[in-house]
Amino acid sequence: MATLPQTATAQVQPDIHPGPSPRYPAGPSFLPGLLSGRAFRRIATDSMTEAAQLHGDLVHYNVFGRHIYQLNHPDLIEDFLIKDAAKHHRGVVMQRAKAVLGEGLLTSEEPLHMRQRRLMQPAFLRQRIAAYGEVIGHNATSISTPWQSGTTVDLHEEMLELALRIVGKCLFDMDVQSREEVRKVSAAVDAFMGFLPLALLPFSELIQRLPIPAMKRIRVGQAQLDALIYSMIEQRRADPGDRGDLLSMLLATEDEEGTGRMTNVQIHDECLTILLAGHETTANALSFALWLIAHHPDVQQRLHDEAIAVLGTRAPTADDYPRLPYAYAVFAETLRLYPPVWITARTCETPYEIADYKIPRGAILLAPQFVVHRDPRFWPDPLTFNPKRFSPEAKETSKARPRFAFYPFAAGSRQCIGEGLAWMEGALTLATIARDWRLTPLPNAPVDITINPAISLRPKHGVPLHVERY
Ligand code: HEM
């Protein structure tokens, strides 16, 4: 990867552009990826990386009169996520997503967002997450028990199922009994998630009303998930009591005016959001990690040795998490190279300035994790998978790196609420699988995994790997 040009701030030369007309940072004349959903999925990550290499830390696009700014420097991203956060709203995609997600944590704006976030936060605090360790350990072991040694398993499918089981049990005390049952829920989630790429399209509202097969599939998935969540709420209302999970907290809450309970619709929207946000991202990260270790036998061996030394033959618990620094480093390095949330987007609500450029109201701001996490200024040899970057020995180098050169969970008021859970789920699952199974790529498999950056970054063709029991 070529070295990026100097920062946008350094490129600013006020005397070259005098006069009242607004100045814009350099950038391609249009953002081809936005012209169609298909093109967006195919090229967005590449075209944005290229734009950063060519035009520097602040890139400008004019797409049919809409101003779009791509932020590529950790300092700009820090301001974007923290200092200037109140000047943005969630943007058009999240507004469109309300049509199916309702007003959950992902889509809601202030002040509703902050109120709901405060309410749900206790379910994600350190003490609570410690209780989730056992659920993770148990499920990470049981997911792999049926694998047949010497066969090929699609580990993306398996990780989707695992993450769904974990989020269901930890946050909703939902016991999914059989694999058939999990697969049914997983298929409904998958069908339903098909809506999100549609939300990127300019005529999304119109498309939603068309009787096309894609919309029918989405509606069927939506109906199945609605039925599941509403029946869960009804059952819990009929048998109240604090089970210490997120659903208990939501059910025990007064509504906004303090005059009564949260409605079933409000609770449904939050549960649906958590179910979706909490399982696909983690499953994608774990799938990328397993694919990477299969292609790096030395890393896999070290992960295996650490897991044997720390866990022996028992299932992991939360207490093991700090004792598995290499598993943590493998997960972190995976999140660097393949961040499931590969871009963070907002729309400017209050005009302000970035690096001396005026950002108009309605402009779209993009902070692409995928680009910054691979920037050679902060990550030497950026395309190499090297978990040592996150090992305790690399502490000094990490300290010298800008904080926002790595932000897989974003930051500020919209920082991922499930971050703590995701870290523990990542490390404990990787340790469990690497302890019990040797993973190898299929013969003739490509060295690079094909990615699909539609909404979240996911493996495009699954993660089929050869599994062999130790
Ligand atoms: C590796 C796994 C995960 C990654 C990489 C990830 C990443 C992110 C990122 C970057 C955001 C901020 C989005 C934005 O600012 O636009 C976010 C928000 C969110 N995440 Fe995660 N996430 C992961 C796992 C989870 C889990 C396990 C849960 C819940 C169980 C969860 C629930 C949420 C929710 C509810 C939000 C919205 C928070 C808000 O706006 O207040 N995520 N996530």
106 lines ligand 1 (CB under 6 A): yes
105 lines ligand 1 (CB under 6 A): yes
Residue from 229, 331, 240 nearest 289 by CA? 331
**Is residue 336 a contact partner of residue 405, using CB atoms and an 8 Å limit?**
no
261 lines ligand 1 (CB under 6 A): no
Distance CA 158, CA 160 (A): 5
Radius of gyration of the chain (CA): 23
Distance CA 197, CA 181 (A): 26
CA of residue 390 to ligand 1 center, whole Å = 21
pLDDT at res. 17: 37
344 lines ligand 1 (CB under 6 A): yes
Q: Which atom of ligand 1 is nearest to the CA of 425?
A: 27
CB atoms < 10 A from the CB of 465, how many? Answer: 25
406 lines ligand 1 (CB under 6 A): no
pLDDT at res. 2: 34
Residue identified by tokens 């989630």 is 189
Enumerate residues 6+ apart whose C-beta is below 8 A from 14: 356
Q: Which of 281, 333, 424 has most ligand 1 atoms within 8 Å of its beta carbon, as the pocket-test mutant?
A: 281
The one-letter code for the residue type at 373 is H
409 lines ligand 1 (CB under 6 A): yes
**Is residue 318 a contact partner of residue 130, using CB atoms and an 8 Å limit?**
yes
Distance CA 259, CA 251 (A): 14
Distance CA 324, CA 134 (A): 15
414 lines ligand 1 (CB under 6 A): yes
Could you tell me the sign of the dihedral formed by the alpha carbons of 380, 382, 385, 390, in that order?
positive
Q: Which atom of ligand 1 is nearest to the CA of 113?
A: 41
Residue 284 main-chain phi, psi, to 5 deg: -65, -45
410 lines ligand 1 (CB under 6 A): yes
CA of residue 36 to ligand 1 center, whole Å = 26
CA of residue 419 to ligand 1 center, whole Å = 7
CA nearest ligand 1 atom 10, residue: 409
422 lines ligand 1 (CB under 6 A): yes
Q: What is the pTM of this model?
A: 0.90
CA nearest ligand 1 atom 39, residue: 414
Q: Structure tokens of 158?
A: 């398996």
pLDDT at res. 23: 85
Q: Which atom of ligand 1 is nearest to the CA of 284?
A: 1
CA of residue 312 to ligand 1 center, whole Å = 32
Paired strand residues for 291? none
pLDDT at res. 257: 57
Interstrand relation of 344-348 and 88-89 (parallel, antiparallel or unpaired): antiparallel
Q: Which of 416, 423, 455 has most ligand 1 atoms within 8 Å of its beta carbon, as the pocket-test mutant?
A: 416
Please provide the distance, in angstroms rounded to a whole number, between the alpha carbons at the two ends of the chain.
38
Residue identified by tokens 């469109």 is 96
Q: Structure tokens of 172?
A: 């909703």
CA of residue 410 to ligand 1 center, whole Å = 8
The one-digit pLDDT tens for each residue of the chain (470 residues) are 333 334 433 333 333 334 456 788 888 765 554 544 444 444 688 888 988 999 999 999 887 788 999 999 999 999 999 999 999 998 777 877 787 788 889 889 888 899 889 888 888 888 888 889 999 999 999 999 999 999 999 999 999 999 999 998 888 888 766 667 777 777 777 777 777 666 666 666 777 777 777 778 888 888 888 888 898 899 888 888 888 788 888 888 765 555 557 788 989 999 999 988 888 899 999 999 999 999 999 999 999 999 999 999 999 999 999 999 999 999 999 999 999 999 999 999 999 999 989 999 999 999 999 999 999 999 999 999 999 999 988 988 888 899 999 999 999 999 999 999 999 999 999 999 999 999 999 988 777 788 887 778 889 889 999 999 99
CA of residue 404 to ligand 1 center, whole Å = 17
Q: Tens digit of pLDDT for each residue in 55-104?
A: 999 999 887 788 999 999 999 999 999 999 999 998 777 877 787 788 88
